[in-house]
A and B are shown apart, each in its own frame.
Chain A
């Protein structure tokens, strides 16, 4: 997968200061890493205790689109009513960006179970293998770094 650096920086690159009227940057950035934040530790534990791969599938599906939609719904109800809808939409936007980046990851089968629970077929072949992601991370770091410097230069001083 693109690592959390790429996911987080991808979210930062897409953030526009003028969108702050309807965007909650911290929630959007949380959405950008949310799928791996939930699934990652669970998979790491199953890997460490060396269980058979099939025992990790219940956790693997937490990264699929439909379960992620349900998780975004769940998380939004942990917020106050006045901002709940915005939280849901911001979280979902970050999650969608995360999934778009993960769609670039190469897999012949299973992958992120994109159609779960309706199908276990993998419709997306991807472009790069998960551990080839260094160049992706490097590109994101360079772009995000440049953007940070540009935005800082154009931010009016107080």
Chain B
């Protein structure tokens, strides 16, 4: 009974946390758009357009925002970029930027991560077995124990 209580309580707490995150999703999403003076930064933004001294990104209300720089942007249209700019009297200075790798490269990495996952799960199930009747992991007895 105690097991059931603990398992139910922890699942309930996790569900409540996930529900809270869902309710607050708009607040979380708006975080990068707060306090954008003098620094403005985004973890990843698709570059909609670039020019000789500006680039354009999508803003919070789906509109387009032009970021005026004093240099040519070191990235191109359709790049996904993390960047930080400093507002100096209406013109922005690009202080940091990072061009994200392609989505395909991320999927390859995720696929390769299956190798350590397999190894760790192999080590785990070498030590434990799941008893479906009792709904519990039991420690395997070592050979000749």
Contacts and interface: CB of A to CB of B under 8 A. Distances in A.
A108 B25 CA distance: 17
Contacts of B14: 62, 67, 70-71, 74
B105 to A, nearest CB: 7
B137 interface: yes
A58 B42 contact: no
Interface in B1-31: 3, 6-7, 10-11, 13-14, 17-22, 24-29, 31
B7 A78 contact: yes
Contacts of A77: 3, 6-7, 10
B106 A110 contact: no
B138 interface: yes
B28 A40 contact: no
A115 to B, nearest CB: 12
Given A3-B113, A7-B116, A74-B14, A61 B21 contact: yes
Could you tell me the dominant secondary structure of chain B's interface residues?
A: helix
Given A74-B7, A80-B137, A129-B98, A120 B27 contact: yes
Given A83-B139, A108-B43, A26 B7 contact: no
Interface residues of B, number: 52
Contacts of A29: 120, 123-124
A55 B24 CA distance: 11
Interface string A41-65: 0001001000001110111111000
Interface of B: 3, 6-7, 10-11, 13-14, 17-22, 24-29, 31-32, 41-43, 82, 84, 98, 100-101, 103, 105-106, 109-110, 112-113, 115-117, 119-121, 123-124, 126-128, 135-139
Interface of A: 3-5, 7-9, 24-27, 29-30, 32-33, 36-37, 40, 44, 47, 53-55, 57-62, 66-67, 70-71, 73-74, 77-80, 83, 106-111, 113, 116-117, 120-122, 129, 131-132
Given A40-B110, A79-B128, A109-B42, 5 more contacts: A30-B121, A32-B120, A54-B25, A60-B21, A116-B17
